[in-house]
Amino acid sequence: MSDTLGFYGIQFLNGMAYSLLLFLLAMGLSLIFGMMDVMNLAHGSLYMIGAYVGLFFLGWTGQFWIAVVLVPIAVGIIGIIMEASLLRPLYRRGHLDQVLLTFGLSFVFMDMVKWIWGADIRSLPAPPGLAKSAIIFGRSFPEYRLFVIVIGLILALALWAFLERTRLGAVIRAGVADKEMVSGLGINITLVFTLVFGLGAALAGLSGIIAGPVLGLYPGMDFETLIITLIVVVVGGLGTLKGSFWGAILIGQAQTFGKVLVPDFALLIVFVIMAIVLLARPSGLFGKEAA
């Protein structure tokens, strides 16, 4: 049945668009954690800020593409300020204090966004060139979601190239493996921490604005996103690009197909996958043993 194929094909594409957004989020969270052992519980907040700041830039410049460039810069700067002013003094204490700090910040960010933009559901319009629908598998599919898939794949590739093929990428990978050694080699690890945190924040902000036209802007989007990103990271394993990628694909597709096929149990499916993975491999599919 070609129509069945069309149905599953379209859902697969929806799932890919969602998965790649999750990948950008998970990659930032996972890099930050791998690097500095900080689980950033304000990561979902940075995503939310990306979306709302995107709304602001869009209103200001009227250009979606300018907003897409400005948002990661703005959110990256917020991340750098966060790291340098609040997290850095805590590196000598346990990681718990840093986690608590990011948790406190997520309250503040949640309330600030509500204060500035209100509690109503908002939407980001898709850019004019991509507002139409294409015909795929004999069905119409929004062009913007195709763009999300393409940009997601390009960014995944770029991140891979950055981490595997550049000097700074090598330093970051080395830092994930053993930071004392890296700083022993004369590399300014503090600066690298700040850069990685900024990069993670920028990725979260970027996925926020890119997701805006698809998923919308609403209060509560911060923690909803944080939870699903945490699940991706738990399933895929921390600290590796491969883990974030396949974890995101698995959870993104499961969530998308779950929502269409068994709407009442979509969330449950994701949790069942997480439980199974945890029982079989406690450190995730691609995580290092003994996390």
Partner 1 sequence: MSLETTYPAGGVFVRSGKLVFWLVMLAALAAFPILTTSAYSLSTLTEILIFGIFAMSLDLLLGYTGLISFGHAAFFGVGAYTAGLVAIKIAPNMLLTMAAGIVVCAIAAFVIGFFSIRAAGVFFLMLTLAFSQMVYAIAHQWTWLTGGSNGLAGIPRPNLSVPSLPIEFYDPTKFYYITLGIFVISLLLLKRIVSSPFGHVLLGIRENEGRMKAVGYNTRNFKLAAFVIAGAFGGLSGVLYSYFNGFISPSELYWTMSGQVMVMVIIGGAGTLVGPVLGAGTILLLQNIVSSNTERWPTIMGMVFIFFVLLARNGITGLLDKVWHGARSQVWKH
- Residue environment code for 68-82, b if the CB has 16+ CB neighbours within 10 A, otherwise e: bebbbebbbebbbeb
Of 174-182, 208-216, 228-236, 248-256, the window that binds partner 1 (rule: CB under 8 A) is 228-236
Residues 271, 276, 280, CA angle at the centre, nearest 5°? 150
The residues in 32-61 that bind partner 1, with binding defined as CB under 8 A, are 33, 37, 39, 41
Among positions 110, 159, 204, 215, the unique one binding partner 1 when judged by CB under 8 A: 110
Of 96-104, 138-146, 181-189, 247-255, the window that binds partner 1 (rule: CB under 8 A) is 96-104
Specify the residue, 74 or 231, whose C-beta has the smaller distance to partner 1.
Answer: 231
Three-state SS string over 9-38 comes to HHHHHHHHHHHHHHHHHHHHHHHHHHHHCC
108 forms part of the interface with partner 1 (CB under 8 A) = yes
Specify the residue, 106 or 207, whose C-beta has the smaller distance to partner 1.
Answer: 106
Helix 266-280 × helix 221-236 angle, to 10°: 30
Q: Which amino acid is at 63?
A: Q
120 forms part of the interface with partner 1 (CB under 8 A) = no
118 forms part of the interface with partner 1 (CB under 8 A) = no
Going by C-alpha positions, the residue among 229, 288, 250 that lies closest to residue 28 is: 229
201 forms part of the interface with partner 1 (CB under 8 A) = no
CA distance linking residue 291 with residue 288, whole number of Å: 6
86 forms part of the interface with partner 1 (CB under 8 A) = yes
Among positions 51, 171, 195, 234, the unique one binding partner 1 when judged by CB under 8 A: 234
121 forms part of the interface with partner 1 (CB under 8 A) = no
Of 13-21, 62-70, 76-84, 269-277, the window that binds partner 1 (rule: CB under 8 A) is 269-277
Q: Which amino acid is at 52?
A: Y
Residues 209, 212, 214, CA angle at the centre, nearest 5°? 135
Cβ at position 168, least distance to partner 1 in Å: 25
Specify the residue, 69 or 272, whose C-beta has the smaller distance to partner 1.
Answer: 272
264 forms part of the interface with partner 1 (CB under 8 A) = yes
93 forms part of the interface with partner 1 (CB under 8 A) = yes
CA distance linking residue 270 with residue 247, whole number of Å: 11
280 forms part of the interface with partner 1 (CB under 8 A) = no
CA distance linking residue 219 with residue 230, whole number of Å: 19
- Write out the DSSP string of 132-161: SEEEETTEEEEHHHHHHHHHHHHHHHHHHH
Size of the site for partner 1 (CB under 8 A): 41
- What are 166's strand-pairing partners? none
CA distance linking residue 169 with residue 253, whole number of Å: 29
List contacts with partner 1 (CB under 8 A). Answer: 33, 37, 39, 41, 86, 89-90, 93, 95-97, 99-101, 103-108, 110-112, 115, 223, 227, 230-231, 233-234, 264, 267-268, 271, 274-275, 278-279, 282-283, 291
